[in-house]
Amino acid sequence: MSEGTKRIEGRAISRRKLLAGAAAAGAAMMPGVALAQSALSDLLAAPTRGNWDDQFDTRGSNGGSAKVSSNQPVFSPNTVTSMQQAMSQYQQIVGAGGWPAVPEVGKLQLGVQNAAVSTLRQRLMVSGDLSQSAGLSPAFDSYVDAATKRFQTRHGLPDDGVISTYTYKALNVPADIRLGQLQTNIVRLQSMSGFLGDRFVMVNVPAAAIEAVENGRVVQRHTAVVGKIDRQTPILNSKITNLNLNPYWHAPESIVRKDIIPLMQKDPTYLAKNDIKIFAPDGTEIPPESIDWNTDEAARYLFRQEPGKNNAMSSVKINFPNTHATYMHDTPQQSLFSKLMRFESSGCVRVQNVRDLVVWLARDEAGWDRQSIERVIATRKRQDIDLKNPVPVYFTYISAWATDPSVVQFRDDIYHRDGAEQLAMNDLQAVAYSPNEQVLTQAADQAY
């Protein structure tokens, strides 16, 4: 056992103290805010107690807890300290018996009356998402709605206030497993606690999210699509050195054999429709009709997709030296960014609103402001930007963190690296695409 864990356990309060004043209500309450049982009973029995359709001021419904949103980066100097404080709080929760499991009784949302809502209230109180002054009513009122949204945001879920499949799963991960997740991730964070640069980009794989950090503050956040379970995005440290505007995409031989040849057998116009040209080793362009598509002859040639709207990398490719042939890029499949589980690439990282990130990366390069970058992209002609001041980039795996000890963030352990099965909510398999999407999405992440 580490010295840090011993110190945390040494600060743990007794279960009896934590439950004082709340045991009769059937809930394990957070320390320091437990109501006297008589006062709680009076509140629940009061004839004027509010119901779900009252117009509560939900802005303060979480009892003054810090807001979830923050411009503090995950790799902040304060994160390890905040994590230690959060771990102490979770040690107290675990020592008190954890939180109750919420019965899965179907969708719970604003307006619902169900006994499970009382348990939901207890669960949200223990984790600090709901003020204990909200009581243990079975009514899903606007206090519970606001607390549910706060909980969902902390767990990377859509903050719609609806308790359904994934919110149930996140709610019902036991407290001791969440504590273990914090302990696992503080080690990862400690390894990145040094100076990372005045400007840097951090790709957090479990969150499928990107932070652009400058002078200790997050200046941009981007939704990302990262690697599938069987084609994982690697952990790496590098520096962004080069940007490709309107990049070419070169199809690997494996894609030619497995995808392009069968597609051309079905539709001889496939290459033309997708702006893909064929070149011999000497650079001579080869007409598609001159190839026997019933053989592997095509695998001898270079297949190059031209810049434009059909290009597998769309408008931009962001390069940094690494042994994994990994990079970041735009994508024509923008609908992927709206998905909850964005683990669908072959290892590279697709970036939503990537042009904002490119403008930030290139800002010190003379002649490359937003207008000039947009003009070049509009021409659909290839052009590169070499960065005279390369920007550090860190691909990391942080599934739990706290930049504020009262706002603990958890994400799905998609690659099963945290040691508990319940932390991986969804075992994602290979994604089924139409033939054209298969080439444009999966192949975009192959060697360039």
Q: Residue 314: pLDDT band by 50, 70, 90 thresholds? A: confident
β 400-404/407-410 pair status: antiparallel
Give the model's pLDDT for residue 101: 97
| Burial profile 240-261: b = 16 or more Cβ within 10 angstroms, e = fewer | bbbbbbbbbbbbebebbeebbb
Least reliable range by pLDDT among 15-19, 270-274, 292-296: 15-19
Please check the confidence at residue 13 and state whether its pLDDT lies above 80: no
Residue 340 backbone dihedrals phi, psi, to 5 degrees = -70, -50
In this model, does residue 22 exceed pLDDT 50? no
Entry field: residues in the chain? 448
**Most confident segment among 242-256, 289-303, 305-319:** 289-303
Quick one: average pLDDT of 143-169? Answer: 96
pLDDT at 175: 97
Question: Regarding predicted confidence, which is higher, 50 or 145?
Answer: 145
**Alpha-carbon gap, residue 340 to 156, rounded angstroms:** 8
- The reported pLDDT for the residue numbered 328 is 95
Of 50 and 226, more confident: 226
Domains along the sequence of the chain with CATH: 3-181 (1.10.101.10), 196-248+310-445 (2.40.440.10), 249-305 (no CATH)
Picking from 160, 159, 204, the residue whose alpha carbon sits closest to that of residue 351 is 204
- Quote the pLDDT of residue 58: 31
| Total-model pTM | 0.76
Q: Which of 58-67, 237-246, 268-277, 356-365 has the lowest mean pLDDT?
A: 58-67
pLDDT higher than threshold 50 for residue 4: no
- CB-CB contact of 99 with 28 (8 Å): yes
Give catalytic status of residue 222 as yes or no. no
- Can you say whether the dihedral through the CA atoms of 105, 107, 113, 115 is positive or negative? positive
pLDDT higher than threshold 60 for residue 304 = yes
Question: Between these two residues, 335 and 51, which has the higher pLDDT value?
Answer: 335
Out of 30-39, 68-77, 351-360, the most confident range is 351-360
> Which of 155, 250, 348, 416 is flagged as catalytic?
348
Residue with the bigger pLDDT between 301 and 12: it is 301
Residue 324 annotated among the catalytic residues of the structure: no
Buried b (16+ CB within 10 A) or exposed e, 25-42: bebbbbeeebbeeeebee
Give me the chain's average pLDDT, please: 82
Q: What is the pLDDT of residue 426?
A: 65
The SS3 call for residue 189 is helix
> What is the band of 253 on the pLDDT scale with cuts at 50, 70, 90?
confident
- Max mean pLDDT among 48-62, 113-127, 300-314, 345-359 falls in 113-127
Catalytic residue among 250, 324, 329, 416: 329
pLDDT digits (tens, 9 = 90+) for 422-440: 888 765 443 333 444 444 4
Q: What's the pLDDT at 331?
A: 86
Which whole number is the average pLDDT over 37-51? Answer: 35
What is the per-residue pLDDT for 230? 84
Share of the chain above pLDDT 90, in %: 65
If one counts every other C-beta atom within 10 angstroms of the C-beta of residue 281, the result is 8
pLDDT of residue 24: 36
- Determine the average pLDDT of the residues in 387-411: 96
d(C-alpha 312, C-alpha 319), whole Å: 16
Which pLDDT score, from 0 to 100, does residue 332 have? 81
Distance between CA atoms of residues 170 and 188, nearest Å: 22
